[in-house]
Structure 1
Amino acid sequence: MAALLLLLLILLPRAICKTPIVKCHIHDPHTPLHQYHQKGDLILGGLASHSIIVSSSIAFSEKPPPTLLEELNVVPKNYQHILPLQFAVKEINENPQLLPNVTLGFRIYDSYFNAKWTSHATMLLISTLKTFVPNYICDIKKGLIAIIGGLDPQTSLHVATILDIYKVPQMAPKETRQYKGILSLLLHFRWIWIGILTFSDENAERFVVPLFSQSGICFAFIERSDKLTYVTEINNLFNQLAKIHDKVIDSKANVVLFYGESYTLEYFRWLPYLSELEQSSNKPKGKVWIMTAQVELTSFVYQRTWDTEILHGVLSFTTHSNDPPGFCQFVQSKTPSSPKGDGFILDFWQQAFGCVFPNRVVGSVRGDICTGQEKLENLPGPYFEMRMTSHSYNIYNAVYAVAHALHAMFTSRVKQRPVMISGGMKFQNQPLWQLHHFLRGISFNNSAGDKVSLDQNREILAGFDITNWIVSSNQSFQRVKVGRVDSLAPPQQALTINEGAIKWHIWFNQTQPKSLCTESCHPGFCIKVKEGEAFCCYDCIPCPEGKISDKDDMNDCYECEDEKYPNKHRNICIPKSATFLSFEEPLGLSLACSALFFAFITALVLEIFVKHRDTPVVKANNRDLTYALLISLLLCFLSALLFIGYPDKVTCLLRQTVFGIIFSVAVSCVLAKTITVVLAFIATKPGSRMRKWVGKGLANSIVLSCSLIQAVICTVWLVISPPFPYADMKSVAEEIVLECNEGTVTFFYCVLGYMGFLALVSFTVAFLARKLPDSFNEAKFITFSMLVFCSVWLSFVPAYMSSKGKYMVAVEIFSILASSAGLLGCIFSPKCYTILLRPELNNREHLIRRKY
């Protein structure tokens, strides 16, 4: 039976109190409670004739070191945890609907935070209470049913060491829900550069660090303070705390996660008094302290007058709590004049109010005399709170959970085989370990109006309250609920926070604190991680050209969509405007006017030559070639207009091919004229066989054959990969360029290359014939025209390749106009000069006169 009962003892506290079972010290049921001091964790229990024993651990301070006065190392607030258990048991026993005809009792054990006494008390739990005989129970009427877990996990280890021998299963509390809630709070306020301060516990590093790091939280420091074991270590502890505090204050991290046991806040309050930095500073630097649910607001007696500024602005995670009706009146009814079996109230009263009862002091009385009329509501928060704290609320709900589970189990059993004894029910030889089955999924509404539920793993389905600790100038203390974490809600909706209700530490001047290793990289910049440092420490570099960042602290910049482009600050994308070289804009209009102007000049020159077609100057160098050359130049100027305007399918097909063929005709005419001049001078030599080649036939053949080759190239281009309208979204960042895609750029350069070949041949022949007699020789002018032509198109290639958008089209138009104007000016301006201004030179005698 003992092993079966112990099975119930251990599984319940894990589900209810979220903290392990605490240490135990023996308390004889017939000995008054006041004979025991409030030094260590307490396990509460009790016996009645037909009672069910519920043990509940209550956290009290560690036994004082022998070199310190006993009353200086006492935590009066630990008495507060006895009251909810008393209140819950009282309510249950007065409720005829819950456990009828059954009395719920409890016992209290004091452990003094000592492993030896914990082990001894654990053996008492599984043995006869009056006579300690390990592993032997003879009083089956007074069996232990359940233990309600306490505040400090280290005690559970000592208890489990004994209970594991009896195959009693243990359940460790899952703290991941609390850590996820803290993580949500950090991410909500964008506190990504934090510190961790823990007292003798590795859970923070084992669970918190990996979980937080995966979500982008960095750690400025992780400091662990050792637990005080011997009095001789107190100086070392103080030195360690001083160094830790100075490191915390000196850190750029404004948020510190404080993880510890229920009693660690007493040591935490030492930090400002041990720090050298704060003693040398008029205004100490504030921090946002985030306290975990295990940490309780407590204080040693000797810390009564200590400054509490370090506690102002603390954000504490606590399991959800509420005040049951009547609890405040129950607490107010507690007076030292009528303890009614509560032997702790006298010690608590003396320690909390700093007074003594004369009848409890041997010899002369030192200090104030306790009147018994002192008001509990006047005590500071670290000593006593009139409201039910989260730890007390856990105990209250735990007792009710045991009661409801027992009631459900008894109800199911009584239908089978109840045994009535003295008006009560005796469940002899009943497998009470089956209480676990009834704890799974249990759900009830407590008197405070809260629904208490346990899942199939006996984990309590409750969230966390986020409370803000507010300390006034008169040292009064107040808890303000500023948020909540719902563990059953989706992760994105689990946290609710009222930022306006939070009172920050005075150092922050009530502005929301920031906790960053590096100030945020604003939109337009991206993160560059510093080598060898945490990923939260970085430099901010501007986004490269063509990319933006529209949020803070972006790891990389990104390109806009094709239809958009970055603004000047590179933090937003602006829609692009469609553009092309149009006749309406100044550039397109000026090029169009230039093309028309040169076309007009060419037509005028053609008219002059037609009008003076019978003059020697016009007839001297093949009149038909001259007409063909002028017409082709006229068409060259006009072909430039195909490149201006909206690029539709027809213009895209025509512009390059028309330009290529017409220009090839023009250059072919120049080549034919050059060859005609050379052959004419050779043919004039006596006995020359070249006379038969001189004539219109050769010139026409040269023009036709050279032009035909270019026409074939253009035809193949149109068949294989014709040009087509295209919207270029990438060439120009701010614009969508509407242009003609050349299809295969190879054909485009083949067209240019062939024209360049013809021009080079013409230039070469003309250059060799440049010293022939001037009267019959226009080779000199052809040489200059071909030099201009080749220079223009050689410059065209790099200029075209380096241009973007409509400026590429403008470069090509300019090259067409410049090269055509070069041919027109160099070849025909001297002749026009002679025809119009020097007609006396335009006669046969002058032309046949030789230079030598």
Structure 2
Amino acid sequence: MQYWSGVCIAQSLKVPREPRPGEFDKIVLRLLETSNARAVIMFANEDDIRRILDAAKRNNLTGHFLWVGSDSWGSKISPVVQQERVAEGAITILPKRASVDAFDRYFKSRSLSNNRRNVWFAEFWEENFSCKLGMHGKRPGSPKKCTGLEKVSRDSTYEQEGKVQFVMDAVYAMAHALHHMHRELCTGYPGLCPRMANIDGKELLAHVRAVNFNGSAGTPVIFNENGDAPGRYDIFQYQINNRSTAEYKVIGHWTNQLHLYMEALQWTSGDSSLPASVCSLPCRTGERKKVVKGVPCCWHCERCEGYHFQASEFTCELCPYEKRPDRNRTGCQPIPIIKLEWHSPWALVPIFISVLGIIATTFVIVTFVRYNDTPIVRASGREMSYVLLTGIFLCYIITFPMIAAPDVAVCSFRRIFLGLGMCFSNAALLTKTNRIHRIFEQGKKAVTAPRFISPASQLVITFSLISVQLLGVLMWFIVDPPHTFVDYGEQRTQDPENARGVLKCDISDLSLICSLGYSILLMVTCTVYAIKTRGVPETFNEAKPIGFTMYTTCIIWLAFIPIFFGTAQSAERMYIQTATLTVSLSLSACVSLGMLYMPKVYIIILHPEQNVPKRKRSFKAIVTVATMTSKLSQLAAERPNGEVKTELCEGVEASDTALISCVCSELKAKKLRVQAEMNTEDDTARLNFYTGFDFRFCLIGYEVAADEYSLSHPEVNQQMQHNVCPTSVW
């Protein structure tokens, strides 16, 4: 497999000297292995040419191959006899020649009598005249006997052999070479001189290559450095004309360069278009040639796959990371850059929730501001309520920077407000639950108020917790200033047509965890305190609503984690993670808003009659109750009900004598008065429940019990209102 004189040789096959049966069929089938290489150049004698054409005919390959014959085929008739259709279109060559008239005159004058020196002449005579020369004949079975009087060109067809001119010129070339050598070596010496007696072939060859004379046809006879005479060829094509007559037609010649008469060419079935003969068809755009090993003119076409483009005829190269192949894969083009659009379904749902949340939060804030001095608003802790509502509002508002097109300003807002809303909310709730827990824990130890439970202290604690988040964000700004970048890896799909670059803020998953981690830590801590204060009576605090809020918020964020990080490899990662984060923040805000403030707003707006002050309690009374609760729990298992109450009342410190003695004596008196007016056993049992074993409930929830009982016994309630402790105690 090689390139030879500008022609690519797909296969090179040898014709056996003594071919076995079927050998030529194998040759034809081997040629068919490179089916696109249709041109077959044959250097063979006319017998082998005829057998190859016959094998192609037997294998139904008429018209498939384009035959090119050497001068051994030339314009001979014998190779194509009865195989005209198979040989149609064959291109053959013959050295350009001229007829030598002197040779014709000489050869036509030859006879058996005057040409006995040529031992092959008798065989030629029999072949040419189709006769037999008796005992000396070389053709047994000939139909007639040669007379010896036959004459060439008179009794037979005669045409001068095409190589006569070249044979004569070759003889003259040797003569000229010897003459030049003799003149050079034997100057003035007649005949063969001693110097020419022992010459070698190389020296004679040098003189042969140096000859320059006009040959028998009048054309120059010279040789090049390789010993070849100038090529002068006539080019023939075997054609079948409209009358179904086959002939060799001259279609060009070669004399130092090719002269081809294109209009004279004719192929199978009269087609004048040039047929193709290639080992492999040209590759399409975007495909590279993978050359078959050892066959430079044969290749397989391989498409440049993935993000590769056709860099050259034989190579595909990878596009730069921020680019993808163009449609034809002949170059690279920038990958389109996308961002989360406002009209995307992934953005519309979070925006809808946030807008509703902002409206609801604004309504709650306006309501609280308008009814700022009402009992419900005051009882909820106005300062902490506004801090918590601020955090809820920030949780809703963060949706918009998260969806907005990233730039330095938007990225800065994302960093600041991403965890700030949750931090505000969780810090406020943590401060509340911690305050409740400390109050009741302190009540178990002494009848003194714990430190830092005033509204001002609560605000200081809350903003101290929030400042940690702000300090972390400030350090983040200093270490890594906000900027945008294009992430080409997130949506780098296998099909480059679907590849997209995502415009992002430089907030990695780790940065996100750090930003939200502190808020989640506050949330978990607040949940722990909510669990610890779950048993505190709801008359004095919001422990239970806060607990339900934290439980629900924890569930939301537990669901957020697998959704957010489980889609890290998804092509829709940007949309899913942004929607998940914003919805989780909004749902957390909805839970806090719904469980902690909507019931209050409901009463303020729809049931203003319930927005009235109840019996006042001093903080000392609350702490005393908490203390008595602890002591009661220790004595309840060992004392009868009455003894427990008596011992408890007797064990109170002197500073609390007025309060506790009032509570104990009044409860005992009330019990006697109520019992006097009871008519049924159920009423008695009910009163025993309120003032019996669970003395803790009577102390803490006295007014609740009395109010509940008075619903069915107004007269009892009226009597109880007259003999109670002073209002200032409660």
Instruction: Give, in whole Å, the separation in 1 of the partners of 2:323 and 2:99.
Output: 66
Residue 432 of structure 2 aligns with which residue?
673
Matching of residue 476 in structure 1 with residue 236 in structure 2? no
Residue 241 of structure 1 aligns with which residue?
23
Correspondent of 1:312 among 66, 71, 88: 88
Instruction: Give, in whole Å, the separation in 1 of the partners of 2:536 and 2:91.
Output: 103
- Contact 2:95–2:232 (CA under 8 A) maintained in structure 1: no
Residue 838 of structure 1 aligns with which residue?
607
Paired amino acid for 1:640: T
Correspondent of 2:13 among 197, 215, 224: 197
The TM-score with structure 1 as length reference comes to 0.54
Residue 669 of structure 1, CA deviation: 2.1
Residue 474 of structure 2 aligns with which residue?
715
Superposition pairs for residues 566-577 of structure 1, below 5 Å?
A: 575-577=334-336
Matching of residue 753 in structure 1 with residue 517 in structure 2? yes
Matching of residue 181 in structure 1 with residue 11 in structure 2? no
* Unpaired runs of at least 5, structure 2: 618-699, 706-730
Residue 623 of structure 1, CA deviation: 1.8
Instruction: Give, in whole Å, the separation in 2 of the partners of 1:824 and 1:311.
Output: 97
- Contact 2:131–2:146 (CA under 8 A) maintained in structure 1: yes
Superposition pairs for residues 40-119 of structure 1, below 5 Å?
A: none
Instruction: Give, in whole Å, the separation in 1 of the partners of 2:169 and 2:42.
Output: 23
Correspondent of 2:374 among 590, 615, 630: 615
Which segment is superposed worse, 690-699 or 756-765? 690-699
Offset from partner CA, 1:176-221 (integer Å, 9 cap, x none): 99735332xx6xxxxxxx554312xxxxxxxxxxxxxxxxxxxxxx
Give the 3 Å change call, closer, same or farther, for CA 779–426 of structure 1 in structure 2.
same
Paired amino acid for 1:598: G
Correspondent of 2:153 among 360, 368, 372: 372
Instruction: Give, in whole Å, the separation in 1 of the partners of 2:259 and 2:594.
Output: 83
SS at match of 1:844: coil
Offset from partner CA, 1:490-513 (integer Å, 9 cap, x none): xxxxx9999998766679998956
Give the 3 Å change call, closer, same or farther, for CA 559–606 of structure 1 in structure 2.
farther
Give the 3 Å change call, closer, same or farther, for CA 686–238 of structure 1 in structure 2.
closer
SS at match of 1:692: coil
RMSD, aligned CA: 6.1
SS at match of 2:391: helix
Matching of residue 632 in structure 1 with residue 391 in structure 2? yes
Instruction: Give, in whole Å, the separation in 1 of the partners of 2:270 and 2:346.
Output: 63
- Contact 2:236–2:248 (CA under 8 A) maintained in structure 1: no
Residue 65 of structure 2 aligns with which residue?
288
Correspondent of 2:565 among 797, 800, 805: 797
Paired amino acid for 1:181: G
Matching of residue 824 in structure 1 with residue 606 in structure 2? no
Instruction: Give, in whole Å, the separation in 2 of the partners of 1:480 and 1:593.
Output: 84
Give the 3 Å change call, closer, same or farther, for CA 309–332 of structure 1 in structure 2.
farther
Instruction: Give, in whole Å, the separation in 2 of the partners of 1:606 and 1:448.
Output: 121
Instruction: Give, in whole Å, the separation in 1 of the partners of 2:370 and 2:210.
Output: 114
Residue 611 of structure 1, CA deviation: 1.7
Instruction: Give, in whole Å, the separation in 1 of the partners of 2:220 and 2:472.
Output: 89
Give the 3 Å change call, closer, same or farther, for CA 753–696 of structure 1 in structure 2.
same
Paired amino acid for 1:323: K
Residue 832 of structure 1, CA deviation: 2.5
- Contact 1:470–1:480 (CA under 8 A) maintained in structure 2: no
Give the 3 Å change call, closer, same or farther, for CA 442–785 of structure 1 in structure 2.
farther
Superposition pairs for residues 372-771 of structure 1, below 5 Å?
A: 372=153, 418-419=187-188, 433-434=202-203, 454-455=224-225, 458=226, 469-472=237-240, 473-478=244-249, 480=251, 512=275, 546-547=306-307, 559-565=318-324, 575-583=334-342, 595-682=354-441, 687=446, 691-696=450-455, 699-732=458-491, 733=496, 734=498, 736-737=500-501, 739-742=503-506, 746-770=510-534
Offset from partner CA, 1:575-613 (integer Å, 9 cap, x none): 533322355767657755654553343223222222222
Matching of residue 323 in structure 1 with residue 96 in structure 2? yes
SS at match of 1:729: strand
- Contact 1:528–1:555 (CA under 8 A) maintained in structure 2: yes
Instruction: Give, in whole Å, the separation in 1 of the partners of 2:438 and 2:457.
Output: 10
Residue 256 of structure 1, CA deviation: 7.1
- Contact 1:639–1:658 (CA under 8 A) maintained in structure 2: yes
Instruction: Give, in whole Å, the separation in 2 of the partners of 1:695 and 1:286.
Output: 108
Give the 3 Å change call, closer, same or farther, for CA 323–251 of structure 1 in structure 2.
closer
Residue 668 of structure 1, CA deviation: 1.9
Instruction: Give, in whole Å, the separation in 1 of the partners of 2:352 and 2:234.
Output: 77
SS at match of 2:13: strand
Give the 3 Å change call, closer, same or farther, for CA 538–476 of structure 1 in structure 2.
closer
Residue 14 of structure 1 aligns with which residue?
none
Paired amino acid for 1:182: V
SS at match of 2:564: helix
Residue 255 of structure 1, CA deviation: 3.9
Residue 266 of structure 1, CA deviation: 1.2
Point out the structure with max Rg over C-alpha: 2
Paired amino acid for 1:765: Y
SS at match of 1:269: helix
Give the 3 Å change call, closer, same or farther, for CA 576–428 of structure 1 in structure 2.
same
Instruction: Give, in whole Å, the separation in 1 of the partners of 2:88 and 2:228.
Output: 30
Offset from partner CA, 1:265-324 (integer Å, 9 cap, x none): 412422465x6x965x7x4455436658686458796x67442444334567x7xx7736
Give the number of the structure with larger relative contact order, counting CA–CA contacts within 8 Å between residues 6 or more apart: 1
Instruction: Give, in whole Å, the separation in 2 of the partners of 1:469 and 1:718.
Output: 86
Residue 516 of structure 1, CA deviation: 7.0
Give the 3 Å change call, closer, same or farther, for CA 707–314 of structure 1 in structure 2.
farther
Instruction: Give, in whole Å, the separation in 1 of the partners of 2:356 and 2:472.
Output: 30
Paired amino acid for 1:802: S
- Contact 1:178–1:464 (CA under 8 A) maintained in structure 2: no
* Unpaired runs of at least 5, structure 1: 1-175, 187-193, 200-224, 229-236, 487-494
- Contact 2:483–2:506 (CA under 8 A) maintained in structure 1: yes
Give the 3 Å change call, closer, same or farther, for CA 284–791 of structure 1 in structure 2.
same
Matching of residue 269 in structure 1 with residue 37 in structure 2? no
- Contact 2:177–2:207 (CA under 8 A) maintained in structure 1: yes
Offset from partner CA, 1:775-821 (integer Å, 9 cap, x none): 53222442255235414532333345535575254554444444444
SS at match of 1:606: helix
Instruction: Give, in whole Å, the separation in 1 of the partners of 2:212 and 2:419.
Output: 90
SS at match of 2:503: strand
SS at match of 2:486: strand
SS at match of 1:787: helix
Offset from partner CA, 1:137-190 (integer Å, 9 cap, x none): xxxxxxxxxxxxxxxxxxxxxxxxxxxxxxxxxxxxxxx99735332xx6xxxx
Offset from partner CA, 1:606-633 (integer Å, 9 cap, x none): 2222222223332334321221122233
Instruction: Give, in whole Å, the separation in 1 of the partners of 2:357 and 2:508.
Output: 31
SS at match of 1:843: coil
Instruction: Give, in whole Å, the separation in 1 of the partners of 2:250 and 2:265.
Output: 11
Give the 3 Å change call, closer, same or farther, for CA 683–620 of structure 1 in structure 2.
farther
